[in-house]
Amino acid sequence: MTLLSEIFEQPERIKDLLGSQRKQIEQLAAKLRAHDIHYVFLAARGTSDNAGRYANYLLGAANGLPLALATPSLFTYYKKPPVLKNALVVGISQSGKSPDIVSVLEEGKRQGCVTLSITNASESPLAQASDFVIDIQAGAEKAVAATKTYTTELMAVAMLSAALSGNSKSWAELSKVSAWMKQVLKQDALIKEAVQRYRYIDQTVVLGRGYNYSTAFEWALKLKELTYIIAEPYSSADFAHGPIAMVEPGYPVFAVAPKGKVFNSMLDMLQRLRSDIQAELVVISNDKRALALAQVPIAIPNDVPEWLTPLVNILPAQLFAHHLTVAKGYNTEQPRSIRKVTETK
């Protein structure tokens, strides 16, 4: 398997996860309702941390659950964990081997909290430290840069949200994700050609907001891991508070701007970047107004609901990072200085 083959594998993995895990996740949601859970306390690193950013928006918006992202060093080095009363303590990790993430769940259990792991390794230390496990069933991921484990983590979070809300419409929309992914992957040749325009860039910013704040971070991470460019992710709101000053004519800005609650805010930023500053724009969207502003427009299906756009938007971003890596002459399978499993403490 290669990075590219694993990118193309994602629609089937998402379809299989929905088919095999829905009943289990609905049963899990029923058990969670029996506990007096006031908020979610979530620990993750790297790509999984970006899945946590998605959970932050989705569980808050759809389920009314505040979410706090853990600071694992408080549990390991400082030995000063916060009080976690009435928390659902969640660990997300594709390998389930990172000691600092495991330590958060172990402390949560010690404090009497319900613990849940979302992982691709159901027998891992993280899973063993958990009361409940959602196995993302992504299969062996050989490429160092995570792709299918990220989208299956997102899907697991989305399924948990749907199960907690009991909304049949949400499940109906989840059933369409695999097909939407397949549609987006048809743009592979277009993206492969488009990246040639950027083969000599050494820095960029990646903008997203709302649910796709997570997508901005994950796209930027893939660019850093694979192409070694300086790629900084921002909320479009934060970007306006200072960082926009570094953009000059021709500066590459990558943006994720699907239709939804935050679209108008993203559109205003894109219009400002294009009209006032003459920035170079790559835009992933399903709105013609945003796509019209881009030198490189990448369209996603028109009917993807906002809450599920991160599962679809990340695929063209992954393809973009892959093909830009090749265009720059780097090895997509062996990025320098990083390993598949990183065990931080």
Q: Encode pLDDT of 219-238 as tens digits.
A: 999 999 999 999 999 999 99
Amino acid, res. 18: L
d(CA 201, CA 25): 44
182: helix, coil or strand? helix
- Rg over CA atoms, the chain: 19
d(CA 178, CA 26): 20
The helix (run of H) or strand (run of E) holding residue 233 is strand 230-235
CATH number assigned to the domain covering 3-175: 3.40.50.10490
At the topology level, CATH places domain 188-327 in Rossmann fold (3.40.50)
Question: pTM for this one?
Answer: 0.96
Tokens 């881009």 -> residue: 294
| pLDDT for residue 340 is more than 70 | no
237-266 per-position pLDDT tens digit: 999 999 999 999 999 999 999 999 999 999
pLDDT at 14: 98
Domain segments of the chain as ranges: 3-175, 188-327
Say if residues 207 and 255 touch (Cβ distance below 8 Å).
Answer: yes
Amino acid, res. 47: T
In sequence order, what are the residues at sequence separation of 6 or more whose Cβ sits closer than 8 angstroms to the Cβ of residue 83? Answer: 111
In sequence order, what are the residues at sequence separation of 6 or more whose Cβ sits closer than 8 angstroms to the Cβ of residue 169? Answer: none
Amino acid, res. 232: E
Say if residues 277 and 240 touch (Cβ distance below 8 Å).
Answer: no
167-187 per-position pLDDT tens digit: 999 999 999 999 999 999 999
Helix/strand number for the chain, H first, E second: 13, 10
Average pLDDT of the chain is 96
Mean pLDDT calculated for residue range 271-282: 97
